[in-house]
Amino acid sequence: MVKFTIQSLLIAVIFLVGVLLGMQQANEGMRKMKGYNDPSLERVIHVSKDETIVLGQSIEEKKEKLQQIEAFNMFSKAGQKLATFVHSLVEHMLSFMQKAG
């Protein structure tokens, strides 16, 4: 089961990288077809010493937005509480089964 999960995640990551590279190639192809540099066509990924930009937005900006969203995300907190409850329930059930067996 663990091997399957790792293989599935690896395949998903490979496909994601492939999609991003394909988007970059399509962008460059559009620029070549036009014959001039159009500033409205942004690069998909731009990496420099100071920052990394994905789809026209820096990673730092995305992190800030996620932090703001997480501050008001009540479903996330409810999910964490539910996960903690289920985890403790399973632990108690397993300990009970060990004592009974």
- My answer on whether 2 and 22 are in the same domain is yes
Quick one: pLDDT at residue 44? 65
Higher pLDDT, 56 or 9: 9
Nearest to 27, CA basis, from 40, 39, 44, 15: 44
Burial class of residue 86, CB neighbours in 10 A (0-12, 13-18, 19+): exposed
Number of domains in the chain: 2
- Cβ atoms 27, 40 nearer than 8 A: no
Distance CA 10, CA 44 (A): 22
Report yes or no on 4 lying in a domain: yes
Higher pLDDT, 24 or 44: 24
Prediction pTM value: 0.37
Looking at the predicted structure, is the pLDDT value of residue 72 above 60?
A: yes
Percent above pLDDT 90 for the chain: 25
Quick one: pLDDT at residue 9? 94
Identity of the residue numbered 17? V
Report yes or no on 62 lying in a domain: yes
